[in-house]
Amino acid sequence: MYKTIFSAVGITVIAAFFCVGCGGGGGGQTRPSELVGQWEHESGATRGKPENLELFKDGTGVVDGGTISWKVENKRLVILSSSEGLACNYKISGYELAIAYDDGTSAIFVRKGKLEEYNAQKIAEEKKVSDKAKASISTFKDNRDGKVYKKVTIGGQTWMAENLNYQTSNSKCYGDEGLHCAEYGRLYSWDDAKTACPAGWHLPTIDEWTTLENSVGGRETAGTKLKSLDWRLDGTIDYGFAVLPAGQCNTRGVFSSAGEFGYMWTATEIDDDDSEAWSMNFDRGYERVRRDNDDKNNLASVRCLKN
């Protein structure tokens, strides 16, 4: 299912798209109706959503070569395409257009030709916010190996602002390469994660993670609020927590997902299952933080919480 919205001078229209195989070519230039707006997905990696969108005043449109139809009704966009129907809410801010679907997901599109300007503005704004984050960040030393870590206080909790990088018997660097430990910290089995934190710190429970999420505005947007800028602008630095996309290692010893996902162990086991525990999953493509039930022998990152 394709979904997006549009805005133009003097007229505001939204459109969401079902994937239809009709129509083709032209990108709208040869159609008889007047072109209202042209838009593209802001991330550059649409993950199944259309990249190039065009809207016409006659209620038709073109998305990646396929045609759609639409109408606006009661401040919601209603899709009329094939035999399907869909409506969604929307918000327009400058040349950024955000939509909110009824299933809780969202997407942002930017006026064509403005994508680089949009990204530059976004970076500049987040660098200003970083000054606030710096005020709450300090450091501490792990006396076991002398490593110094950043720590940050958010909503009354004091967290490590970096992934733990203390060597244990069942921990590895991503890809078995030491430089990744310096970048991402180590990846731990659940049993090692339980005891890896330095004195005065502990592996947080899923409830303590929930407290953190609530402190930054709730679970649905916590992923964006807590991720670092290493996620190709999907993260922010409002709070200085700076989750990294460190990936994981499965029980077969296969490393995966660095640059795309960050998996954090919690201290909470799955009810009635001695082999699994909960982890927090930060995904480059989502604002929310997911909870996953992971095999305790998988290797994931650790963020310690001060006692």
Record the tokens describing residue 50, joined without a space: 């259309």
Does a structural domain hold residue 178? yes
Does a structural domain hold residue 126? no
Residues 176, 301, single domain; the answer is yes
Residues 95, 141, single domain; the answer is no
What's the CA gap between 47 and 260, in Å, rounded? 12
Does a structural domain hold residue 95? yes
| Tens digit of each residue's pLDDT (9 = 90 or more) over 116-127 | 777 777 667 666
**Predicted local distance difference test score (pLDDT) of residue 209:** 96
Does a structural domain hold residue 239? yes
Q: Average of pLDDT values for 242-251?
A: 91
Cβ proximity of 134 and 127 under 8 Å: no
Residues 154, 244, single domain; the answer is yes
State the sign of the Cα–Cα–Cα–Cα dihedral 296, 299, 305, 307. positive
| Tens digit of each residue's pLDDT (9 = 90 or more) over 11-44 | 344 443 333 333 333 444 445 577 766 777 776 5
Instruction: State the total domains in the chain.
Output: 2
- The DSSP 8-state label assigned to residue 203 in this structure reads P
Closest CA to 68 of 119, 105, 31: 31
Cβ proximity of 68 and 77 under 8 Å: no
Q: Which long-range contacts (CB under 8 A, 24 or more apart) does 171-175 make?
A: 171/196, 171/299, 172/249, 172/299, 174/246, 174/247, 174/249, 174/255, 174/258, 175/255, 175/258
Residues 268, 139, single domain; the answer is yes
What's the CA gap between 62 and 77, in Å, rounded? 16
Candidate from 17-26, 59-68, 90-99, 271-280 with smallest mean pLDDT? 17-26
What's the CA gap between 154 and 239, in Å, rounded? 7
Residues 204, 244, single domain; the answer is yes
The per-residue DSSP string of 18-76 comes to -------SSTTTTSSSPEEEEEEETTS--TTS-SEEEEETTSEEEETTEEEEEEEETTE
**Predicted local distance difference test score (pLDDT) of residue 102:** 74
Does a structural domain hold residue 118? no
Cα torsion at 188, 47, 229, 4 (round to 10°)? -140
Residues 218, 149, single domain; the answer is yes
**Predicted local distance difference test score (pLDDT) of residue 238:** 66
Cβ proximity of 214 and 155 under 8 Å: yes
Closest CA to 111 of 90, 125, 100, 97: 97
Residues 168, 240, single domain; the answer is yes
Last residue of a domain, one of 48, 80, 113: 113
Q: What is the CATH number of the domain that holds 42?
A: 2.40.128.290
Q: Provide the domain limits for residue 87.
A: 2-113
Residues 50, 173, single domain; the answer is no
Does a structural domain hold residue 102? yes
Q: Kindly list the distances between the CA atom of residue 113 and the CA atoms of 11, 37, 42, 222, 264, in Å, as whole numbers in the listed order.
A: 19, 12, 11, 30, 38
Record the tokens describing residue 113, joined without a space: 């030709």
Residues 13, 69, single domain; the answer is yes
Does a structural domain hold residue 65? yes
What's the CA gap between 245 and 3, in Å, rounded? 27
Cβ proximity of 212 and 157 under 8 Å: yes
pLDDT band of 106, cuts 50, 70, 90: low
Residues 209, 152, single domain; the answer is yes
Does a structural domain hold residue 206? yes
